[in-house]
Structure 1
Amino acid sequence: MNSQRFMIIPFISFLAACTSTTVVLLPDSDGNVGQVEMITDSGTTVLNKAYESSEAEKQKLSSTPNVLLSKEIVRDKYGDILAKEPLIPEHFKFYFKTGKADLQAEAQEMLLKSKARIEERKSCDLSVIGHTDRVENDDLNYLLSMVRAANVAKALVDLGIPLNCMDIRYYGESYPVIPTLDDVAEPLNRRVEIEIR
């Protein structure tokens, strides 16, 4: 899923008795930049570079030419707004053997990392989501994904993460990372994902 971060800053000028909206396109945490279109009666302005900005005055219904701002200028000018931005969700994945729901040996290190991030973020908003590949039938896979999710949730509880902070879901083979035909074993689809918000 492509997403983009941008902030819209409404300005009100009491002296000029007009309002305007400024849009600044921000890169994702991994540096990727999406695209934003500002549409007014005068046309469309496209922002597609990191820290690119444009302003539209509502009375005139037109936008100013795009301006490329530096990261430092954005931080200095809009730091208070950026400080209030919610943290981007983090994901941790646990993989399973075909038809199995027990955590593998390498899962302990990932559990400790996820626990550390939950505590650092002071989060009580996480999802634990179970999945399977397409080996076996739909009903068995649904149950298997439920047990996998429950096992990861229990491991987190054993590490001190409150159960009431978790939304536990399971989808069987419904949302594969790699789509396959029936009865095809795909290790990347046999997973539980933790999303920390």
Structure 2
Amino acid sequence: MKNSTVLFAIFGLMLAGCSGTTVVLVPDATGKVGKVSVKTKAGEQLLSQSGASTFAGTVDKAPSQVQVLDSTKIQDMFGTALANEPAPPLHYSIYFKSGSAELLPDSKPLLMTMFKAIQERKSCDISVIGHSDRVGDNGTNKGISLKRAESVANVLKTIGLSGDCLDVRYYGENDPVVPTADNVAEPRNRRVEIEVR
């Protein structure tokens, strides 16, 4: 099976006289539908619209003709799996003053919004990743990005999050949102990214 673009597919094992795999293409959390190619030795089917479905019984038989299933049929077939699907990760970016671990004023309210989302999810799987712009040398910038990540992690711990739930990392200037030349001050690169799973 080969993926292209963004997709979310449901794979189900169907046991109705013979076994095989039913593949149904459904939108991702943002509503986007990608494409998936279902291939056996004997043929291939491309699924490219919401609800598109095919059945692959054996490797020596081509997948069935594409059928489009309505949402009721998809719920009947895969409702339990869909109900137990984890929520997609939440992403936040907190920004800092140049050369320091001091938050920009606009970023402070986002910390509480983020903490509420963590509480609602009951999450204990959070990445806190520090970054810097390219002003100064990379060694110094790695230190600044670590201090930024640690400062956000400390705020989260202060408001009740367990340190065991945090994966704190830092990349210095090595993973910019906006690529720049050396010694260019780019505010969007002076950040901590938080991913809540």
Using the size of structure 1 for normalisation, the TM-score is 0.92
State the 1:72 CA deviation: 3.5
Task: Give distance in 2, aligned partners of 1:190 and 1:163.
Answer: 23
Corresponding position of 1:47: 47
Question: Is the CA contact 1:97–1:190 (under 8 Å) kept in the aligned structure 2?
Answer: yes
Corresponding position of 2:183: 183
Using the size of structure 2 for normalisation, the TM-score is 0.92
Question: Is the CA contact 1:130–1:146 (under 8 Å) kept in the aligned structure 2?
Answer: yes
RMSD of Structure 2 on Structure 1 (CA)? 1.5
State the 1:38 CA deviation: 0.6
State the 1:61 CA deviation: 2.3
1:65 to 2:65 alignment: yes
After superposing the two structures, state which structure 1 stretch, 102-111 or 185-194, moved more: 102-111
Runs (4+) of structure 1 exceeding 3 A deviation are none
Corresponding position of 2:120: 120
Letter in 2 for 1:105: P
Corresponding position of 1:90: 90
Question: Is the CA contact 1:5–1:26 (under 8 Å) kept in the aligned structure 2?
Answer: yes
Structure 1 alignment gaps of length 5 or more: none
After superposing the two structures, state which structure 1 stretch, 84-93 or 99-108, moved more: 99-108
- For 2:105, what is the secondary structure of its paired residue? coil
Residues 109-188 of structure 1: matches in 2 within 5 Å?
109-188=109-188
Task: Give distance in 2, aligned partners of 1:128 and 1:40.
Answer: 42
Letter in 2 for 1:72: T
How many aligned positions are there?
193
Task: Give distance in 1, aligned partners of 2:72 and 2:181.
Answer: 50
Deviations 1:27-52 (A, max 9, x none): 11111122111111122211121221
Question: Is the CA contact 1:103–1:151 (under 8 Å) kept in the aligned structure 2?
Answer: no
Structure 2 alignment gaps of length 5 or more: none
Aligned-residue sequence identity (percent) comes to 41
Question: Is the CA contact 2:40–2:60 (under 8 Å) kept in the aligned structure 1?
Answer: no
Question: Is the CA contact 1:19–1:59 (under 8 Å) kept in the aligned structure 2?
Answer: no
Question: Is the CA contact 1:103–1:152 (under 8 Å) kept in the aligned structure 2?
Answer: no
Corresponding position of 1:21: 21
Task: Give distance in 2, aligned partners of 1:89 and 1:23.
Answer: 24
Question: Is the CA contact 1:25–1:48 (under 8 Å) kept in the aligned structure 2?
Answer: yes
Corresponding position of 1:12: 15
Question: Is the CA contact 1:146–1:169 (under 8 Å) kept in the aligned structure 2?
Answer: yes
Task: Give distance in 2, aligned partners of 1:187 and 1:108.
Answer: 16
Task: Give distance in 2, aligned partners of 1:85 and 1:189.
Answer: 33
State the 1:59 CA deviation: 6.3
State the 1:60 CA deviation: 4.9
